[in-house]
Structure 1
């Protein structure tokens, strides 16, 4: 952190971001707005953004408010005005950038999933542990923890309002891959994405289940499927060519959908579904949690609402009721609008930035940590291993 410019002004924290696409835009908005919304002990400054395409990254810098643009992430890490590196790149580069940034004495925020493999996530977590001893912090970006209704659900569970948990059901449904002519982007290639719907969507709901329950998954049983196994190549791509009539196609090497069941250490049972092939569903993340004393339900498409059932009330008048999570004493809401004025998806990144800045300023461990990201990575790996063992087989036909 830099020194104060005056007694009245807080010190600044120079942020450097690697990547400028969808997540880069979302993170930029969070960094740009956080000190305008929350009273922070440290003020983030958008120092520099990095990307390989010089004209594209310069345009992104101008659009999102970054002071400088770099075409090599190593140059961004080396900048004296960057104290925190925010990684918004595909998963295959997370480990290299994060470890280099931590070893250079920078704080790190890394998008989920933490890495493409358990080995990479372990190396990142080890680097974060070494850096912690030097005062650097590392956090993984599971932004859905920062939805006020989700954070409030965690509070209710931690307070014992549901009692012992019995069942957790999580689904995350999208439909952007239903069209078999959708091109073979990096998210459909294992070498870049690590996995498909499992890592892209499943990582979120695994993290949410463990966050809300306050304990890890200890076992899983899974199925996975790739429904469209070849897709048109993007312009300029040449790997894995097939097809005829001038239409070059490449092989999809990740899952389109994953289904799995799990068990928590307490004995509670959990079920998960993650797919990018659910026609009509754009970003449908939903969960229901049942406990001995009550239940909670949430739908991201109604993200300011939480459904709560108190099973200790008389049956004649009990049932699920809507909680509108917009009160000043709900998580994060003290700095926003009057009750009833709703927030949206983009606000989760502002909340994420606030939590990390406050952790850095106070020296406390961030949440979720790289160790939390590693735990999710281990669950994802166990899901893949189970799905391989449970692969489709053809039953032996009985003879006449």
Structure 2
């Protein structure tokens, strides 16, 4: 596809939190990077009035409450799925069946079986030039992309251990109301799928290794919450703690909770190797802390890299050195990578196959927690 080809039409399914973030990305990607042109054709939601208002605010040409009809439009080339997890498989399989490129928010699905079906359909569609991608946006944080480059280049030596924790506190108050994220039939799991999926993906992304076995514990601290008709049972976890064995010999600890009082969105990653280490926190996402064990005597410890240089990942499209980026910009990087994969006819990453591997780890963590922290192989 040349740069002068007609614009690629986009439909986003879902218009609340993630739909808003993705809409901003589609609205700004052509202004930030040299990519194929996009046209924001239709925003889809369940409530006609609210999705119409969102479409107007976010810059969409139209709104709709019919995701099937929106996907079947001749002027829609890309389907971006931002719904609760229970709908991911159904919508993605329909879109792939009809030859549309697909982006799906994480986690890929609610079950391993759904993820297997999606990965299989994506692989089959790829033979016809259809591109599919999973939306783990933290792969697009420049500091974490740089961290992966450093690990791959051997700067940390033999990688031995990782500590990854994702802490939020928006459910600490027992009076916080029920939402779809607290119902297993819609969300699949709680902090495990919502936050832990990011952590597991970063384990695989940073190390290039797969998880071979897990041991885990989970808790639901508040078991009932106010609903629209009285209180409802919370059917997912509030927090998980797990230890992951990797097939390269390293060990990772992964924690995820939405009950960490005072932590708004703290995604902390530490990696330790024989020659160095690194640390990152999403609440300071333009910085990467790096320790070089081979530094001269008397110069131990971490140095802070401000990841805003034009040589750093994704920075060529942005501002002069020192002008920091934000969380929402990772979604612009995400859709940029999808568009370049479509243009080049190349596979996009992370793939649905990557999402399936993450789903298998999540399932093993859940099984281990249910079996009193028994070590469970990932399969």
TM-score by length of 2: 0.97
Q: 1:332: which partner in 2?
A: 314
CA contact (8 A) 2:216 2:373 kept: no
Q: 1:171: which partner in 2?
A: 165
Residues 265 and 67 from structure 1, CA distance in 2 versus in 1: closer, same or farther, beyond 3 angstroms? same
1:31 aligns with 2:26: yes
Which whole-Å deviations, capped at 9, do the CAs of 1:330-353 have from their partners, x for residues lacking one? Answer: 000011011111000010000001
- The alpha-carbon deviation at position 9 of structure 1 amounts to 3.9
CA RMSD of aligned residues (A): 1.2
Q: 1:316: which partner in 2?
A: 298
1:250 aligns with 2:232: yes
Distance across 2 between alignment mates of 1:35 and 1:64: 15
Distance across 2 between alignment mates of 1:127 and 1:72: 22
Instruction: Select 1:112's aligned residue among 101, 106, 109.
Output: 106
Distance across 2 between alignment mates of 1:315 and 1:23: 48
Which whole-Å deviations, capped at 9, do the CAs of 1:146-200 have from their partners, x for residues lacking one? Answer: 0000000001111110111001000000000000011110000000000000000
Which structure would you say has the larger Rg? 1
1:203 aligns with 2:225: no
Distance across 2 between alignment mates of 1:315 and 1:184: 55
Instruction: Select 1:370's aligned residue among 348, 352, 359.
Output: 352
Distance across 2 between alignment mates of 1:281 and 1:384: 24
Alignment of 1:1-400 (within 5 A): 9-40=4-35, 42-233=36-227, 235=228, 238=229, 248-390=230-372
Distance across 1 between alignment mates of 2:361 and 2:196: 10
Distance across 1 between alignment mates of 2:283 and 2:121: 37
CA contact (8 A) 2:33 2:317 kept: yes
Distance across 2 between alignment mates of 1:145 and 1:135: 24
Instruction: Point out where structure 1 has 5 or more consecutive residues left out of the alignment.
Output: 239-247, 393-400
Distance across 1 between alignment mates of 2:324 and 2:49: 37
CA contact (8 A) 2:13 2:83 kept: yes
Distance across 2 between alignment mates of 1:130 and 1:53: 34
SS state at 1:134 partner: coil
Q: 1:395: which partner in 2?
A: none
Distance across 1 between alignment mates of 2:296 and 2:28: 46
SS state at 1:56 partner: helix
List structure 1 segments (4+ residues) > 2 angstroms apart after TM superposition. Answer: 8-11
Q: 1:243: which partner in 2?
A: none
- The alpha-carbon deviation at position 207 of structure 1 amounts to 0.2
Instruction: Indicate the larger mover: 63-72 or 112-121.
Output: 63-72
Distance across 2 between alignment mates of 1:84 and 1:162: 39
CA contact (8 A) 2:215 2:373 kept: no
Distance across 1 between alignment mates of 2:64 and 2:144: 36
Instruction: Point out where structure 2 has 5 or more consecutive residues left out of the alignment.
Output: 375-379
Distance across 1 between alignment mates of 2:364 and 2:50: 38
Which whole-Å deviations, capped at 9, do the CAs of 1:64-123 have from their partners, x for residues lacking one? Answer: 011111111001111111001000000000000000000011000000000000000001
- The alpha-carbon deviation at position 10 of structure 1 amounts to 4.6
- The alpha-carbon deviation at position 391 of structure 1 amounts to 6.7
Distance across 2 between alignment mates of 1:275 and 1:378: 20
